[in-house]
Amino acid sequence: METLFYLRFHDFYVVLEEMFKKMTRIKLFALIALFCSGISFAQQGGGMWIPTELNEAEMKQMGMRISAQDIFNPNAPSIKDAIAHFGGGCTSEVISAQGLLLTNHHCGYSQIQSHSSVENDYLKNGFWAMNASEELPNKGLTATFIIDIKDVTDKILQGVTDDMDEEKRQEFVKSNIEIVSKNAVKEAHQDLFIRAFYKGNKYYQFITETFRDVRLVGAPPGGIGNFGMDTDNWSWPRHVGDFALFRIYADKNNKPAEYSPDNVPYTPKHFLPISIKGIEEGDFTFVFGFPGTTDEYLPATALEQVLATTNPNRIGIRDVALRILDSKMRQDNATRIKYASKYARISNAHKKWTGESLGLTKSNAVGLRKDYENEFTKRINANPEWKAEYGNLLKDFQELYNANDSYLIAEIYFDEAIYRNSETFRVALLMQNLLKAKNTPEFDGLKERYRNHLRGLYKDYDAALDQEVSLALIDLYKKNVPAQFLPENAININASTFRNSVLTGAQKINGVSILEDTDKAFENNEALVEALESDPLVQEIGLILKAYEEKVSPKYTAIQNQLAQLQRTYMKAQLEVFPDRKFFPDANSTLRVTYGKVDGYKPEDKPRYDAQTYLDGAVAKHIPGDYEFDMPEKLIELEKNKDYGIYGEGKRKKAKMPVNFIASNHTTGGNSGSPALDRDGNLIGLNFDRVWEGTMSDLHYDPTICRNIMVDARYILFIIDKFAGAGYLLEEMKIVK
């Protein structure tokens, strides 16, 4: 209780102190009045809102000068017509009348990589198409626009009753979705999906248009687009030009089409003007994009589990893998290149979870959630109907989460130690899957899929390195998975298992090493099956898989389903019990708007950081030859001469080149590449990250430390124009000065 008080008091004090410095007396009185009126969750801020249901009044009060209709209008061009889901995972936006598309460098990474070779290393040196014919097509890459959003809850929940059992409910929902989908009005080239919101208390229908010819136009060198790499990832201050340019192509009727040399640049209904007027602390900003997943309405007991079980176990497993990878990558250049992107993937989530736990602790998320639950309980106790319906919810949660704990640990270890972070174990799991399909019609298709997958995997595989990682992970597995979930016989995986396996290339299939000639190793079905069935690694991993499938997965899944039902009821309860609070639905990869203000922040034990960084700060971090912090010579030169074109800030002698900035927009994974817009709907930034402790905003948003990080639009234009000499691209953009 004491620490709880201290933390809250401490935070409050820090916030107050900062405000005090900036505020006029009147504002301060208003603030004190606000506090005295008893703010709690209502003023918490944050939120990822459905664009058809915006709180226009609040946005305007914060400084917005356009209307909600300007942001989303299904019947006339609006800003949403410039926003596209990029490859299903990131966000992108159209910035010219010729379908020019802006997103993050890290979102286009695999496309940039796939066009790269030793002679033309676009990841390292950058790429700029100097005319349309040089733009590079990308097989499989899509850009999806949202045409319309409709609340179809009544139709989807038709016939569903509160006392219905879960299976029956799901049947109704499923068949209603089919009926509504079939009857929906849309054009032939459009698609439609229906998705659950508010944990299944609401359903929305989306009509979409997906373009399939999306070409690479430009990307800065890694020393700009990925400057600071893993060391700077999830942190502030930041100095990275994390952007890339693509272009959408359409058929001659401006409709989606597969790639064809006859396709023409897409004419959008709307594209974003780019403002170079600059930003100031306190400016209104909103971010428009496709946030992936959040879990903002968990009970306190679930947050405790994240802090005590989920994050420490995942972090602990990845610690071990990362430490081994790092030491080998430092010793050998070829290993470093091979494992750079794998390392980045493993460390990205590892670093995020660490920051998330830090933020949850620092902001006393569990304590605040308990206060909230006390208020919830007080309110339902005062209403007999609510009490009857919701009186057991929190207790049921507690029991289920407790029951879940050991299954969760086993689940995490299987996922992280066997499936995700050992390449050889993952191959063994895939091969188990293939063997299960033996003598079925699926076998050949599956074999083909895995063969393609393995060809890519083995290209960058270091058998000795992965063996070391895998053996360390299996040690953790044996030590930390509760005994009742392990295979009956002791797990017997050691160096000789690897030496005797075909999966590491040490033994041959069909006369060849799977590493050197995956195609030939997979050629003959009989030889392949025979080699896999007698392989010691495939067998051992098979036993682990069997134990997991029998002893962990069914129960774990059953509890997850029960939890999902409870969460649906809890969400319904919160909507009823707190009519004074505005709830946003958890992110689910659908189009959302979040808004906030340009605002610095104060990390633990550090002075407050400004909201904006500049190019001189990037140059100060420059380490020649370093693989994370090496900067292109030309950029250093531009900074030295203050040669910023029209993009710098301030007068000639004092001029500075803005690079990144932060604001209190509530974002998550999937918001990468999202535009940050100003009060007039002009693009001012490109979202790419969050500050470290602020990553807890997936579970708990705290306005004092949650910040999203953006590339300043001026820096993007500066790099295109002054650095890359691709100024012709600027001619098709609309620059607001």
How far apart CA 657 and CA 95 sit, in angstroms, is: 22
**Minimum distance of ligand GLU from residue 307's CB (angstroms):** 19
Alpha helix (H) ranges present in 212-264? Answer: 222-225, 229-232
How far apart CA 311 and CA 441 sit, in angstroms, is: 41
Are 538 and 369 within 8 A, CB to CB?
no
Between 51 and 108, CB nearer to ligand GLU: 108
Half-sphere exposure of 302 (CA within 13 A, CB side): 18
Query: C-alpha angle 546/411/233, rounded to 5°?
Result: 135
Between 209 and 356, CB nearer to ligand ARG: 356
Among 52, 91, 233, 704, binds ligand ARG (CB under 6 A): 233
Among 176, 671, 682, 704, binds ligand GLU (CB under 6 A): 671
Between 376 and 688, CB nearer to ligand GLU: 688
Told to check if 670 binds ligand GLU by CB under 6 A, we report yes
Told to check if 669 binds ligand GLU by CB under 6 A, we report yes
The interface partner of residue 344, options being ligand ARG, ligand GLU, none and the CB cut-off 5 to 8 Å by kind, is ligand ARG
Q: Using the 8-state DSSP alphabet, how is residue 550 labeled?
A: I
How far apart CA 95 and CA 507 sit, in angstroms, is: 54
Among 238, 690, 714, 722, binds ligand GLU (CB under 6 A): 690
How far apart CA 315 and CA 321 sit, in angstroms, is: 10
How far apart CA 237 and CA 460 sit, in angstroms, is: 33
Told to check if 660 binds ligand GLU by CB under 6 A, we report no
How far apart CA 630 and CA 652 sit, in angstroms, is: 27
Q: Which stretch binds ligand ARG (CB under 6 A): 226-234, 412-420, 585-593, 728-736?
A: 226-234
The interface partner of residue 670, options being ligand GLU, ligand ARG, none and the CB cut-off 5 to 8 Å by kind, is ligand GLU
Told to check if 689 binds ligand GLU by CB under 6 A, we report yes
Between 180 and 662, CB nearer to ligand GLU: 662
Is residue 436 helix, strand or coil?
Answer: helix
How far apart CA 650 and CA 695 sit, in angstroms, is: 33
Told to check if 689 binds ligand ARG by CB under 6 A, we report yes
Among 348, 507, 510, 524, binds ligand ARG (CB under 6 A): 348
Told to check if 234 binds ligand ARG by CB under 6 A, we report yes
The interface partner of residue 667, options being ligand GLU, ligand ARG, none and the CB cut-off 5 to 8 Å by kind, is ligand GLU
The interface partner of residue 703, options being ligand ARG, ligand GLU, none and the CB cut-off 5 to 8 Å by kind, is none
DSSP annotation string for 622-637: --TT-TTT---HHHHH
Among 78, 294, 594, 672, binds ligand ARG (CB under 6 A): 672
Told to check if 672 binds ligand GLU by CB under 6 A, we report yes
Are 454 and 427 within 8 A, CB to CB?
yes
Binding track, positions 75-114, relative to ligand GLU; x by CB under 6 A: ---------------x------------------------
Query: Residue 370 contacts by C-beta under 8 Å, 6 or more apart in sequence?
Result: 300
Between 372 and 688, CB nearer to ligand GLU: 688
Q: How do the residues of the chain divide into helix, strand and coil, expressed in percent and rounded to 5?
A: 50, 15, 35
Question: By beta-carbon distance, which residue lies closest to ligand GLU?
Answer: 672
Count of residues of this chain found to bind ligand GLU when the rule CB under 6 A is applied: 10
Count the Cβ atoms, other than its own, within 10 Å of residue 120: 10
Between 46 and 669, CB nearer to ligand ARG: 669
Are 236 and 222 within 8 A, CB to CB?
no
Please list every residue from 101 through 120 that binds ligand ARG, using CB under 6 A.
106
Count the Cβ atoms, other than its own, within 10 Å of residue 17: 11
Told to check if 665 binds ligand ARG by CB under 6 A, we report no
Tokens for 31?
């603030």
Told to check if 736 binds ligand ARG by CB under 6 A, we report no
**Minimum distance of ligand GLU from residue 671's CB (angstroms):** 5
Q: Which stretch binds ligand ARG (CB under 6 A): 182-190, 225-233, 326-334, 575-583?
A: 225-233
Among 658, 669, 675, 681, binds ligand ARG (CB under 6 A): 669
**Minimum distance of ligand GLU from residue 590's CB (angstroms):** 15
How far apart CA 194 and CA 318 sit, in angstroms, is: 36
**Residue 45 falls in which region: left (phi positive, over 0), alpha (psi -120 to 50) or beta:** left
Tokens for 201?
């208390």
Q: In the beta sheet, which residues pair with residue 595?
A: 286
Between 341 and 565, CB nearer to ligand ARG: 341
Told to check if 599 binds ligand GLU by CB under 6 A, we report no
Q: Using the 8-state DSSP alphabet, how is residue 254 labeled?
A: S
Catalytic residues: 106, 242, 672
Residues binding ligand ARG (CB under 6 A) = 106, 229-230, 233-234, 344, 348, 669, 672, 689
Residues binding ligand GLU (CB under 6 A) = 90, 667-672, 688-690
